[in-house]
Amino acid sequence: MFLWGTATAAYQIEGATSEDGRGPSVWDTFSHEPGRTSRGQTGDVACDHYHRWPEDVALMEGLGVNAYRFSIAWPRVLPLGSGQVNAPGLDFYDRLVDALLAAGIQPVPTLFHWDLPQALEERGGWLNRDVCELFAGYAAVTAERLADRVPLWITLNEPFVHMAYGYAMGVHAPGRALLTGALPAAHHQLLGHGLAVQALRAAGARQVALTNNCTPVWPASQEEPDLRAAEAYDILHNRLFNDPVLLGAYPDLSAYTPEPDFVRDGDLATIAAPLDALGVNYYNPTRIAAPTGDGLPFDDAGISGFPTTAFGWPVVPGGLRELLTGLKARYGAALPPILITENGCSQEDVPAADGTIDDLARVDFLDRHIAAMRQAMAQGVDVRGYFVWSLLDNFEWAEGYDQRFGLVHVDFDTQRRTPKRSYHWYAEFLAGQNTDT
Ligand code: IFM
């Protein structure tokens, strides 16, 4: 069955951050520090999904999706990251899973979507190798409870973004600006992933995947310095996270570190545990030029000549086809089936006087990206699912509530949910699908 779904993440929608025994996460700490997020906004309430989940499941049922990708908050299950399990936290996800199944929707949980328990940050976060085993312990506890009903699990969401924004540049939690000193956070996330794959399978998970944020990299010119810079960026953004998982080896990291001494014997074999699917999140290509400063080995040259989202991201549907066919060309038989675990756009969705939200640009975005995905499938890429980011407008990290990605508009003062035109479009589209394609 082809999975047609929508996606969210715990800290972006749940709220109830100190309810029923949930421990604090790095995002609670970070978003409460002055100047970290737009207008000081936090995920304290977000979409209040922790209380309003029945309404949100009903919205998905109305949409007609057959799958829902959400994330489980590690600090809700294990408030200190390990040790004592918080039963009400697991109960929440248990109820959600049952409600989804009753609505004919396959739950697809992600175990880590950036909300590390603060207690683990105090031990060094993902820079501390011990966190890898603790992540596997959390995976085991969670799957022992849910794997009887949840076939497909995703370990990590976008370890590149978490490493780059959270540990290299400091614009996301935990707010560390270590530049290339962030690389151990990449390796430890990947090692944690590999250990979690073992733990999930031991607990009865039938299928396991990892979600990477991938981007086609466009050199700014065909001149040698730009081509070299583009290759260096491709290594950092794409290959650093795909090669070890799919090929069991890191790409040449010499542009970033003289010696990856954080990699120990046996780590790569653990990281390369076979997967049932690779999750791919696609938003846009990246155009790269030779560096002008003396820091990193590339400059982001920006893309012009395409429409942009409210975030200013270029809208390039053909980039999705290029990405998918490129993955197949690069990894060949080592590439498992692909799930597009996120694709979507932020728009300035202002309700009209009659309350409707006519987000035609989002409809066009989704329509053209789905067409691009199908072109890649026609070229032989094995894609098994597509999830729109996102079901609801939500807490867009450092951007707070300013960037709206939802098929459903959320009024954050009243928590009123209003399906946008894109919701109705997707519902109609799904009604016309044969779920085998
Ligand atoms: O909101 C994020 C999500 O958490 C991870 N992928 C990209 C989305 C849009 O920025």
Q: Enumerate the known binding-site residues for substrate.
A: 12, 113, 157, 283, 389, 396-397
The response to whether residue 395 sits with its C-beta less than 6 Å from ligand 1 reads: no
- What lies within 8 Å, CB to CB, of 244 at 6+ separation is 190, 250, 268, 271, 272
Helices (H), ranges, 173-239: 183-202, 224-234
Q: Is residue 205 part of a domain?
A: yes
> What secondary structure letter does DSSP report for 235?
I
Element (H, E) at 144: helix 130-146
Question: Is position 121 annotated as part of the catalytic site?
Answer: no
Using the predicted structure, report yes or no on whether residue 109 has a pLDDT greater than 90: yes
Q: Is residue 207 part of a domain?
A: yes
* Residue with the two structure tokens 């060949």: 332
Ligand 1 atom 2, closest CA:
396
Which CATH number do you get for residue 400? 3.20.20.80
Q: Under a CB-based contact definition with an 8 Å cutoff, are residues 400 and 41 in contact?
A: yes
Q: Is residue 48 part of a domain?
A: yes
Question: Is position 259 annotated as part of the catalytic site?
Answer: no
- Name the percent of the chain lying above pLDDT 70: 99
The response to whether residue 398 sits with its C-beta less than 6 Å from ligand 1 reads: no
Which of 402, 405, 410 has most ligand 1 atoms within 8 Å of its beta carbon, as the pocket-test mutant?
405
Q: Is residue 290 part of a domain?
A: yes
28-54 pLDDT tens trace: 999 999 999 999 999 999 999 999 999
Q: How far apart are CA 52 and CA 346, in angstroms?
A: 23
Q: Is residue 119 part of a domain?
A: yes
Closest-lying ligand 1 atom to the alpha carbon of residue 281: 6
The response to whether residue 388 sits with its C-beta less than 6 Å from ligand 1 reads: no
Ligand 1 atom 9, closest CA:
396
255-300 pLDDT tens trace: 999 999 999 999 999 999 999 999 999 999 999 999 998 789 999 9
360-405 pLDDT tens trace: 999 999 999 999 999 999 999 999 999 999 999 999 999 999 999 9
Q: Is residue 437 part of a domain?
A: no
Q: Under a CB-based contact definition with an 8 Å cutoff, are residues 80 and 119 in contact?
A: yes
| Reported pTM | 0.98
Q: Is residue 436 part of a domain?
A: no
Domain tally, the chain: 1
- Say what the pLDDT of residue 418 is: 98
Residue-range definition of the domain harbouring residue 185: 3-431
Q: Does residue 167 sit in helix, strand or coil?
A: helix
The response to whether residue 158 sits with its C-beta less than 6 Å from ligand 1 reads: yes
